Structure 1
Amino acid sequence: MNIIAQQLGKRFQRDWIFKQLDYTFEAGTVYAITGANGSGKSTLLQTLSGVVPATEGQIQYIHDNQAVSPDNVYQHISITAPYLELIEEFTLQEMLNFHWKFKRLRLPIPQDELLEKIQLPKARHKIIAHFSSGMKQRLKLAVAMLADTPVLLLDEPTTNMDLRGIDWYRHEVQQHLAGRLVMICSNQPYEYDFAQAQICITDYQPQAK
């Protein structure tokens, strides 16, 4: 899927977060979105995903040379971020069963193998509310990366993760990049140093590098 921004801008009350963005995010490319804290990285990601409406400009979504309606974009996008919550009343098993009713696995694998893959084999029946913050983040990343969607959006992907978790992320994410449009919002190079393009948000205007 390609995402095409045309004179895109987002404002909260009188404050512009970004504006006048003209850019085509292309399928099969990994983009790093960088910028100072508070520069608008997360807002840009949410706007491009359709979660947050733009103040001005337009966004086009093109998949297999056909336009995708904004109402159906969610079917093509997986997103994870520290501010997105899991259903904490669910057990891990219930959470996975629920999630895969809405998104398909990229590569169908047995449940036991999936739990091993996300390094949570003993937590199958554990309530998510009792997970550590690192376990929750690994689960959020796993369901996003493993979903069969052409767009993968990751906002500060290793938040709350220890060194082992960071190593797990770096290994896993690079297994799930092929053919996808991937955007990673981060100021930590180890989260995005495999990206092919970088966009830095400076003075309200995203700049491609």
Structure 2
Amino acid sequence: MEFKLIGKNIRKSFGRLLVFESVNFELGVGSSLAIAGRNGSGKSTLVKIIAGLLSPSSGEVIYQIDGKKIDKIDWFKYVGFVAPYLQIYDEFTGYENLEILARIRGLKNYKEKN
């Protein structure tokens, strides 16, 4: 199975504020991408776009397996996003928090996985 993550001419603006434009990349299994910049330069915004949590103003992110494009609704099966400020429920255990997220995502066999 050959997995690819492709970014084509990604551009993001908020109103008249241009955050970034012309971001292009292609990553395969074993590849890595470093995103560097000053505070406010759009690093987190780009990562959110790659994870499917935010839409680009133009351009596109493509997930592919064996050359076949994966529908955006299924991206969560291939990518995870961890931010420095996680919203978890203090009154639940770590396992209970994961169980809630699994149910929200519609994962059926989450109890069978170790």
Work out the percentage of aligned pairs sharing the same amino acid: 29
Report matched runs for 1:91-106 at 5 Å: 91-99=93-101, 102=107
For residue 88 of structure 2, give the secondary structure of its aligned residue in structure 1: coil
* 1:89 has 2:86 as partner: no
Any idea what SS the aligned residue of 2:34 has? strand
Paired with 1:31 and 1:103, the residues of 2 have a C-alpha distance of: 32
How far, CA to CA, are the matches of 2:29 and 2:45 in structure 1?
21
Scaled by the length of structure 1, what TM-score is found?
0.45
Per the TM alignment, residue 53 of structure 1 is displaced from its structure 2 partner at its CA by 0.5
Looking at structure 2, the residues matched to 53 and 103 of structure 1 have their Cα atoms a distance apart, in angstroms, of 28
Do the aligned partners of residues 58 and 96 (structure 1) sit closer, same or farther apart at CA in structure 2, a change above 3 Å counting? closer
Q: Distance in 2 between matches of 1:83 and 1:47?
A: 18
Q: Which residue of structure 1 lines up, in the alignment, with residue 82 of structure 2?
A: 80
Q: Residue in 1 aligned with 2:54? A: 52
- Mapped partners of 1:15, 1:35: distance in 2: 17
* Equivalence for 2:68: 66
Query: Which runs of 5 or more structure 2 residues have no equivalent in the other structure?
Result: none
Q: Deviations over 1:3-25 (max 9, x none)?
A: 21111101011111110112212
- Give the alignment's TM-score, normalised by structure 2: 0.78
In angstroms, what is the RMSD of aligned CA positions? Answer: 2.3
Give the paired residue count.
Answer: 107
Structure exhibiting the larger radius of gyration computed from Cα positions: 1
Aligned residues of 1:75 and 1:103 also touching (Cα < 8 A): no
Distance 1:37 1:54 in 2: 20
Greater relative contact order: 1 or 2 (C-alpha under 8 angstroms, separation 6 or more)? 1
Kindly indicate whether residue 32 of structure 2 is the aligned counterpart of residue 30 of structure 1: yes
Instruction: Assess, with a 3 A threshold, how the Cα gap between structure 1 residues 21 and 103 changes in structure 2: closer, same or farther.
Output: farther
**AA matched with 1:59:** V
Check whether the contact 2:5–2:62 (CA below 8 A) recurs between aligned residues.
yes
Q: CA deviation at 1:103?
A: 8.8
Question: What CA distance in whole angstroms lies between the structure 2 residues aligned with 1:37 and 1:55?
Answer: 21
Q: Which runs of 4+ in 1 moved over 3 A?
A: 96-105
Alignment deviations for residues 136-180 of structure 1 (CA, whole Å, 9 cap, x no partner): xxxxxxxxxxxxxxxxxxxxxxxxxxxxxxxxxxxxxxxxxxxxx
Inter-CA distance 103–3: structure 2 relative to 1 (3 Å threshold) = farther
Contact 2:51/2:80 (8 A) holds in 1: no
